[in-house]
Amino acid sequence: MKQIVLLLTTMFVLVITQGCYSQNSSAQKKSAMDTSNNKKNPVYSNTDSTKVVMTDEEWKKLLSPEVYHVARQKGTERPFTSPYETSHEIGTYYCAVCGNALFKSDTKFESGCGWPSFYEPISKGSIIYAPDNTYGMQRTEVMCGRCKSHLGHVFEDGPKPTGLRYCINGVVLDFKKAQDAEKAYNAKEKEE
């Protein structure tokens, strides 16, 4: 008899846990629609500007292999593979690793180089720079100002007003559409 009670209790606990689990996973799915790479990532935030310092081992556990390769191993995604490259949607591009705001869609342009391109970061502190002399080239690497993830490079052949071309791997970007109100506001400003 005791065994049956134990069995029933175990089953009951299992049912409860399963219930919680499926609720959690549907919540995760919902947030994954907003931002694709921040599942289970405790440092991801669009508002917290505290610097993020973690070891590669810790990052490896949090990030997808594609994001980890580009962001932490300074990899490069294949050209013409990011849906962001030709996107004209209005909104803000964030660091997919930590959520730091990086670029606004109105500074984005189609450079034809195969990667999402911008002529200006959202703010001075949003990006940090480092000389990169690998592969026999003299380039300037750009990294996220909050988590120091590798984003891409900046070149001096961009359009006005800055003349710069921030060539960024789409896999380390998260895009969030502007609120409808903000869109309406921008449209109104253009008319005037």
Using CB under 5 A as the binding rule, whether residue 37 contacts Zn ion is answered as no
Using CB under 5 A as the binding rule, whether residue 146 contacts Zn ion is answered as yes
Number of H helices, E strands in the chain: 4, 9
The residues facing 155 across adjacent strands are: 165
Give all strands of the β-sheet with 127-132 in edge-to-edge order: 108-109, 117-118, 165-168, 150-155, 139-144, 127-132
CB of 144 to Zn ion, least distance (A): 3
CB of 151 to Zn ion, least distance (A): 8
CB nearer to Zn ion: pick between 146 and 153? 146
Q: Is the distance from CB of 45 to CB of 31 less than 8 angstroms? A: no
Could you confirm whether 167 is annotated as catalytic? yes
Which DSSP letter does residue 168 get?
E
Site for Zn ion in 81-100 (CB under 5 A): 95, 97-98, 100
**113 annotated as a binding-site residue:** no
Catalytic residue chosen out of the listed positions 142, 143, 167, 168:
167
**Tokens representing residue 99 in the block:** 């959520």
Which residue, 81, 83, 123, is CA-closest to 104? 123
State whether residue 7 is helix, strand or coil: helix
C-alpha 143/C-alpha 66 separation (Å) is 17
Selected from 144, 164, 167, 168, the binder of Zn ion by CB under 5 A is 144
Q: Is the distance from CB of 165 to CB of 155 less than 8 angstroms? A: yes
**20 annotated as a binding-site residue:** no
Site for Zn ion in 102-141 (CB under 5 A): none
CB nearer to Zn ion: pick between 9 and 73? 73
Known binding site: residues? 95, 98, 144, 147
Active-site positions read 167
**Which residue ranges make up the annotated binding site for Zn(2+)?**
95, 98, 144, 147
- Which residues here bind Zn ion, judged by CB under 5 A? 95, 97-98, 100, 144, 146-147, 149
